[in-house]
């Protein structure tokens, strides 16, 4: 038993448990909290793979920024009567069952093939996970995609400001 | 010596030392805050419990522990209980990446003076930023779960405030990262050796970071989440006993943390004022480690005194002034600082 395996098992089990809690919790705030916890456990899993930069970014962007908005929305809308939302059999459920089953079969086939058994971390992995390497790649080989993402985000910000200002009373 | 048990034991010992230090620091800060407030307001402050009132924080904790823990009838009980734990936990977790000094050699084994056993975690600053952004949840959930309008407003204000000032904080830190070329806190400290403190090379960044730190700590002049005069007590109105004590403790632990980060990033961290060779201290000796530790603690102490001093000197901002300062002044200044740093590096390096 090495440290990697122990921490992997702990993080993986907690990640699965919190993911289950996200969809089974009665209260939306509890769901949101378990999702934040899940993101932390995912970050831990990234760390066991020596991907330190992605691990921290995971916490910063998903747990720190996106989930704050989710929690805000839940609090301000005061969702609480989820009992009324329960519905019986519908088409969506059927599709969900089908897709879930397909995923389970895929994973089972992959596992029995032995495709996932060779998971030793290569020497290079710890070098590739650092911010320097990722930044270097992004600003040399992937410079065009990153510029396009930048323009897209800028357009989104402009759009958000326009939509926020539309409902303001004009100053006169 | 790289076995699992060895790593675990080392981390455990370090954890014990760091936790004791932080708890003691929090107690000392509560005492200092009350005494300094007394001096500034021309009165004595607590001076009856023990010599010079030094036992006051312990008396306070005893009182909080013995008080009845009241949870409001309409509160969401589970989350009401979890919120203070999140706040305090986040305040402590940041110490995982804070180096208290370089390394010391014991039996030829390099032991780094910080919780992290690997010194080259190259993400120290990002980790701190991530944790400050997670710290929002404790206060926001406390405000929401109390089911009290004042608490809710306090919680929402705190979230808005922290989200806004995080951006300025991050931008100020980018300047330092550009100078150092690393996200690692140890690298940043080593880069400042020999009085090359970042406060001199990044004065604008320092002011932005300091202001944003005050907002992130929810300290006066930015303590709008608990503005007593308008919100009773803000997010912690409905908390009593040790749950309130945890928020209280977290506030002072956060103060120590912020001071430590400012000392590390801008005030040279644990670098000695004179080169170690002139003092005749060898690399890795226990004495040098102690000297670095003491230097660092002195800097943290000076910073906390400054924070307390500001609290009792400057009145609270209005909410719109707070947002104006964050978005329309600090954010552009942060961008200007970034451009200036880039130009400076291009010219001088």
Q: What pLDDT score does B113 carry? A: 72
Nearest chain A residue to B122, by CA? A130
Burial class of residue A4, CB neighbours in 10 A (0-12, 13-18, 19+):
middle
Residue A44 lies in a domain: yes
Alpha-carbon distances of B332 from A156, B208, B338, rounded to whole Å: 20, 10, 10
Q: Which residues in chain B have their CB less than 8 angstroms from residue A33's CB? A: 79, 82, 137, 141
Q: What pLDDT score does A149 carry? A: 93
* Structural domain that includes position B116: 2-348
Q: Out of B79, B131, B134, name the one closest to residue A29 (CB).
A: B79
The whole model's pTM is what?
0.84
Q: Note whether A157 contacts B: Cβ–Cβ < 8 A.
A: no
For residue A101, what pLDDT band results from cuts at 50, 70 and 90?
A: very high
What ipTM was assigned to the predicted interfaces of this complex?
0.79
Q: Which residues in chain B have their CB less than 8 angstroms from residue A68's CB? A: 133, 136-137, 140, 159, 163
Residue A37 lies in a domain: yes
Residue A1 lies in a domain: yes
Q: What pLDDT score does B228 carry? A: 67
Residue B248: partners with Cβ closer than 8 Å, 6 or more residues away:
B30, B64
Burial class of residue B253, CB neighbours in 10 A (0-12, 13-18, 19+):
buried
Find out whether A75 and A68 touch, Cβ atoms under 8 Å: no
Residue to mutate among A36, A48, A68, with most B CBs inside 10 A, is A68
Q: Note whether B346 contacts A: Cβ–Cβ < 8 A.
A: no
Interchain CB distance below 8 Å, B129 and A60: yes
For residue A125, what pLDDT band results from cuts at 50, 70 and 90?
A: low
Within 10 angstroms of residue B182's Cβ, the number of other Cβ atoms is: 21
Q: Note whether B348 contacts A: Cβ–Cβ < 8 A.
A: no
Q: Note whether A128 contacts B: Cβ–Cβ < 8 A.
A: no
Q: What pLDDT score does B247 carry? A: 82
Q: What is the per-residue pLDDT across B93-122, written as a single tens digit (0 to 9) for each?
A: 888 888 887 777 777 677 777 776 565 567
- The CATH number covering residue A49 comes to 1.20.120.1200
pLDDT > 80? residue A46: yes
For residue A144, what pLDDT band results from cuts at 50, 70 and 90?
A: very high
Q: What is the per-residue pLDDT across A16-25, written as a single tens digit (0 to 9) for each?
A: 999 999 888 8
Give the count of domains, chain B.
1
* Structural domain that includes position A68: 1-80
For residue A124, what pLDDT band results from cuts at 50, 70 and 90?
A: low
Give chain B's residues under pLDDT 70. 1-2, 108, 116-121, 225-229, 284
Q: What pLDDT score does A81 carry? A: 57
Give the count of domains, chain A.
1
Q: Out of A3, A30, A56, name the one closest to residue B123 (CB).
A: A56
Q: What pLDDT score does A99 carry? A: 93
pLDDT > 70? residue A118: no
Rounded mean pLDDT, A54-74: 84
């Amino acid at each position: 038993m090495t440290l990697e395996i122990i921490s992997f098992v702990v993080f993986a089990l907690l990640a699965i448990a919190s993911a289950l809690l996200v969809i089974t919790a009665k209260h939306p705030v509890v769901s949101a909290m378990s999702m934040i916890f899940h993101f932390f456990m995912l970050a831990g899993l990234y760390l066991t793979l020596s991907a330190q930069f992605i691990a921290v970014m995971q916490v910063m962007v998903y747990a720190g920024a996106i989930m704050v908005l989710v929690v805000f929305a839940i609090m301000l809308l005061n969702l609480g009567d989820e009992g009324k939302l329960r519905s019986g059999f519908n088409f969506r459920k059927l599709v969900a069952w089908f897709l879930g089953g397909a995923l389970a079969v895929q994973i089972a086939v992959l596992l029995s093939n032995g495709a996932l058994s060779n998971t030793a971390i290569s020497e290079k992995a710890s070098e590739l996970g650092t911010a320097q390497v990722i930044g270097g790649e992004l600003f040399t080989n992937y410079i065009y995609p990153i510029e396009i993402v930048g323009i897209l985000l800028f357009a989104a910000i402009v759009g958000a400001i326009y939509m926020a200002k539309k409902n303001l009373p004009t100053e006169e | 010596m790289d076995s699992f048990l060895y790593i675990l034991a080392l981390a455990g010992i370090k954890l014990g030392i760091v936790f004791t230090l932080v708890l003691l620091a929090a107690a000392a800060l509560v005492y200092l805050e009350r005494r300094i407030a007394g001096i500034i307001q021309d009165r004595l402050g607590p001076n009856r419990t023990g010599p010079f009132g030094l036992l006051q924080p312990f008396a306070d904790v005893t009182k909080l522990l013995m008080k009845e823990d009241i949870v409001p009838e309409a509160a969401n009980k589970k989350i009401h209980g979890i919120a203070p734990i999140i706040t305090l936990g986040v305040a402590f977790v940041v110490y995982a990446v804070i180096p208290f000094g370089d390394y010391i050699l014991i039996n030829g084994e390099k032991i780094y003076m910080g919780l992290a056993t690997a010194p080259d975690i190259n993400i120290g600053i990002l980790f701190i930023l991530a944790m400050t952004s997670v710290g929002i949840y404790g206060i926001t959930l406390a405000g929401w779960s109390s089911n009290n309008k004042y608490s809710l407003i306090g919680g929402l204000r705190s979230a808005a405030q922290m989200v806004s000032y995080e951006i300025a904080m991050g931008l100020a830190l980018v300047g330092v990262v550009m100078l150092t070329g690393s996200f690692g806190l140890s690298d940043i400290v080593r880069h400042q050796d020999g009085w090359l403190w970042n406060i001199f090379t990044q004065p604008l960044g320092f002011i932005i970071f300091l202001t944003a730190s005050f907002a992130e700590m929810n300290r006066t002049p930015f303590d709008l989440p608990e503005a007593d005069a308008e919100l009773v007590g803000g997010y912690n109105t409905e908390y009593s006993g040790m749950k309130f004590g945890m928020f209280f403790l977290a506030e002072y632990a956060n103060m120590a943390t912020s001071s430590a980060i400012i000392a590390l990033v801008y005030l040279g961290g644990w670098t000695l004022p004179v080169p170690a060779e002139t003092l005749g201290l060898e690399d890795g000796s226990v004495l040098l480690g102690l000297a670095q530790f003491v230097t660092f603690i002195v800097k943290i102490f000076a910073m906390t005194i400054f924070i307390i001093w500001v609290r009792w000197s400057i009145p609270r901002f209005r909410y719109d002034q707070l947002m104006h300062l964050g978005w329309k002044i600090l954010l552009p200044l942060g961008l200007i600082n970034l451009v200036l740093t880039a130009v400076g590096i291009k010219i001088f390096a």
